[in-house]
Amino acid sequence: MNNILDKITGPEDVKKLSSKELSKLATEIRELILDTVSKTGGHLSPNLGVVEITLALNYVFNPPGDKIIWDVGHQCYTHKILTGRKDKFHTLRQFNGLYGFPSREESEYDVYNTGHASTALSAAMGMAVARNKKGKNHEVVAVVGDGSLTGGMAWEALNQIGHHREKLIIVLNYNEMSISPNVGAMSKYLSYLVSGQHYLRIKDHVKSILKYIPAVGKPMIKVARAVEEALKKIFFPGLVFEELGIRYIGPVQGHSLGSLIEVFEDAKSHSGPVLIHCVTKKGMGYQPAQSNPSQFHSASPFDIETGKPKSKDKRPTYSSVFGKTMLDIADKDEKVLTITAAMPEGTGLKPFGDKYPDRFFDVGIAEQHAVDFATGLALEGYKPFVAIYSTFLQRAYDQLYHDVCLMDIPIVFALDRAGIVPDDGPTHQGINDIAYLGHLPNMIVMAPKDENELQNMLHSALSYAHPVAIRFPKGRAYGVAMDESPKEIPLGKSEVIKEGKDLLLAFGSMVYPCLEAASRLEQEGISLSVVNARFAKPLDKELILDIARPGNVIITAEEAVSSGGFGSMVRTLLDKHEMFDIRFKSIGIPVEIYPLGKTEQIKRMYGLDVEGLVNSIKKFYEYSG
C-alpha cells in the first residue's frame, strides 16, 4: 500500500484527504517521528500526543496565512512534517539540521519562535490586534498545553484576551503533564472539566424561547440568570474561562480527527475569543512512551523495541549527583527544602520528593513564583534550594534582584544545564547566567570542575549566609572519586592545579580542558599556572593580584558569554587596582544567536575545546609580545 505521507508537500495536500486517509496519515506520521527520534533523540511523548490536533489544524485552517503559534514548541514535529520539511526530518536536532522548536528562520509556517513556556497567548493576542488594525480577516490560533497554564504570563494574557475580546482561537491541549505530572489548582480544575457544550446550547435555546413569551418572558429571564449563576458553578465546568470573557468548547477527544475538525470549524464562526479544550495522551501510539511519558519527554537515542537508551555510559549525570547530594544534606538538616519549576526528573530531585514529600515543592512552570516562594521560606528560618535550568532562571531576573539580593536572603540556586546545551538550539543555551547573576549585590556565583566538587559546593553553600548560585552542565560528569565526607570550600578561594609562570584562570567546566591545553603548551615553551577559579563572584583577589605584575599574562576561560561574564569580572578587578600593564585575554562565547548542534560541535566552533584553546593562547602570545 502506498504511503499517504509521501504525497504530502504542504497543508493544501492534507485538505484533499478523506477521513480514512487522515487516520492512516496519522499512523504514518507517528511511525516517522518514532523512527527519527529513536536515532536523533528529541521530544517524543508530547509529539506523539498532538498528531491528530496538528492534522486537524492543517485541515481546517490555511497556514501560513492563518497564524498558528505553538506554546513551548517542543510538540511541533508533526507541524514541521506537514509544512514542507518532511524530507529533512532525519536531520532533527542535528548540526545544521531542523530545530526541535519552531523557527521563523527555518520556515514561513513557523510564525513565532518558542522554546520557553507560557508565551504563545501574549503573542497571539498581539497578532490578533495587529490583524484587526490592518483590516485583515485571517485566523490566529495558539496551541497551549495545560502545563503552560501554570505559568503566570499565560494568565496575564488570558486576562487581556477576555477583556478585549478579539477574535482568537486557543487550543488547550490537556494531557495532565508538562514534562512531569502537572501540579496546582489549575491542573485540578482542568481535570474536573467534563463537558460544557450541551449546557451552552440549552442555555441559548431556552433564552430565545423565553424572549417570545409576552409579559412574563423578560422577568423569567432575570430569574433564570440568578438561578444560572448558582447552577452553572455545579453543571458548567468551563466557568472560569467564560467568566474571563472567553467562549469555552469542550472537552473534545483530542485523538478523534472528526471531532477536532468539527469544533475547529465551529470555532471559526465565533466573533470573539474561543478556547477549545482537547484531551490527549502523551506518547500516544508507542506503549513505552505512554507508560512513562516523563522519560520520553526529551529522550536520548533509544531502541524502539525495548524503549531503552542506546548509551552504555555508566558515569553519573550532574543532575543525579545534585539529587543524591540534596538527600545527604536533607538527612542531616530538617530545615532543608527543595523547590523546582516543573522539573523534578530533569533536575534530579524526584528521589528527594519521594523520600521527603513534605519538604519538596514543584511549583509548575512558574520560575518567578519559585524564587519568591523561596524568599518567604528563608525569611522564616528554612533553607531552600531552588533547582531551575540556567535558561529558565533568567525568567525570574527581577525577583532575583529585587526580592533576593537586595534583602540578602540566603537561598541556594542550583543552575542545571549551565553552559552549552546540546540539541535544543538557542532558546535553551545556559550561557548568560554568569552575566545576569554576577552584577547582583550579595550574590555568590560558583561552578564546580567536576561532580565531587559539586557536592562539596552544595554542602558549603549553606555556610555562606548569602544568596548562592551554583552552575553545572547538562549530561555526564567525569566519574571521579567522591569524598565520603564533604569538604568545606572557603568563600572566594580558588584552587591551583598546575604551577607555571603565567595565569590561566578556568571556571567550572573549562578546568579540565584548560589543564590539558596547558600541558600541550608547556611542550612549546608556554608556562601556565592552571587555576580552578571556583568562584566568579567573589573572585580570589589575593591570587589574581599576586600574579598581576607588568608584562605577565592572565587568561580566563569560561563556557558562557564573555561579555559581562567571568573574564569581564577579572578585567574589572585589574582595572580597579590599576593593573593596566597586564597582558590579558578572555576566552568565552560571543554575543550572538547560537547554532544547533552537539556540545562538542559548538565548543569546537567557538574554540572552547582543547585544540581551540591551544591555538587561541598560542596566537595571543605571538601577537602580544
Q: What is the pLDDT of residue 223?
A: 55
Residue 69 host element (H or E)? strand 67-70
* Distance of alpha carbon 608 from the chain centroid: 24
Top pLDDT among 413 and 550 is at 413
| Inter-CA distances, 619 with 27, 190, 602, 625, Å | 56, 60, 21, 10
Where b means 16+ CB within 10 Å and e means fewer, 491-500 reads bbebeebbeb
- How high does pLDDT run on average in the chain? 90
**Which of 126-130, 170-174, 195-199, 333-337 is predicted with the least confidence, judged by mean pLDDT?**
195-199
Binning the chain into helix, strand and coil, the percentages to the nearest 5 are 45, 15, 40
Top pLDDT among 219 and 138 is at 138
> Could you report the per-residue pLDDT of 254-303, keeping only the tens digit for each?
999 999 999 999 999 999 999 999 999 999 999 999 998 888 888 889 99
Region of residue 86 (phi > 0: left; psi between -120 and 50: alpha; otherwise: beta): alpha
- Out of 93, 131, 247, 282, which one is annotated catalytic? 282
- Out of 52, 367, 453, 559, which one is annotated catalytic? 367
Contact 375, 411 (CB under 8 A): yes
Top pLDDT among 176 and 4 is at 4
367 tagged catalytic: yes
- What's 519-549 look like in SS3? HHHHCCCCCEEEEECCEEECCCHHHHHHHCC
Share of the chain above pLDDT 70, in %: 90
Tally the residues of the chain.
625
- Could you give the CA distance from residue 39 to residue 618 in angstroms, rounded to a whole number? 39
Top pLDDT among 8 and 208 is at 8
> Could you report the per-residue pLDDT of 207-245, keeping only the tens digit for each?
455 555 555 555 554 555 555 444 444 445 578 888 889
| Inter-CA distances, 407 with 82, 197, 261, 266, 525, Å | 52, 50, 54, 53, 50
> Could you report the per-residue pLDDT of 322-375, keeping only the tens digit for each?
999 999 999 999 999 999 998 999 999 999 999 999 999 999 999 999 999 999
User: What average pLDDT does this structure show over 166-182?
Assistant: 76
Q: How many CA atoms lie within 13 A of 228 on its CB side?
A: 15
Neighbouring-strand partners of residue 549? none
Q: pLDDT band at residue 151, thresholds of 50, 70 and 90?
A: confident
Residue 81, classed as helix, strand or coil, is helix
- Out of 80, 395, 449, 474, which one is annotated catalytic? 395
Query: What is the spatial order of strands in the sheet that 444-446 belongs to?
Result: 360-362, 336-340, 383-387, 412-415, 468-471, 444-446, 535-537
User: What average pLDDT does this structure show over 540-567?
Assistant: 93
> Could you report the per-residue pLDDT of 417-471, keeping only the tens digit for each?
999 999 888 999 999 999 999 999 999 999 999 999 999 999 999 999 999 999 9
Q: What is the pLDDT of residue 438?
A: 96
395 tagged catalytic: yes
Q: What is the pLDDT of residue 489?
A: 98
- Per the listing, cell 529533512 goes with 88
**Which of 174-178, 241-245, 248-252 is predicted with the least confidence, judged by mean pLDDT?**
174-178
Q: pLDDT band at residue 311, thresholds of 50, 70 and 90?
A: confident
Q: What is the pLDDT of residue 209?
A: 53
C-alpha cell recorded at residue 257: 480527527
User: What average pLDDT does this structure show over 59-71?
Assistant: 96
pLDDT at residue 127 is higher than 60? yes
Query: What is the spatial order of strands in the sheet that 168-174 belongs to?
Result: 67-70, 140-145, 168-174, 273-279, 247-253
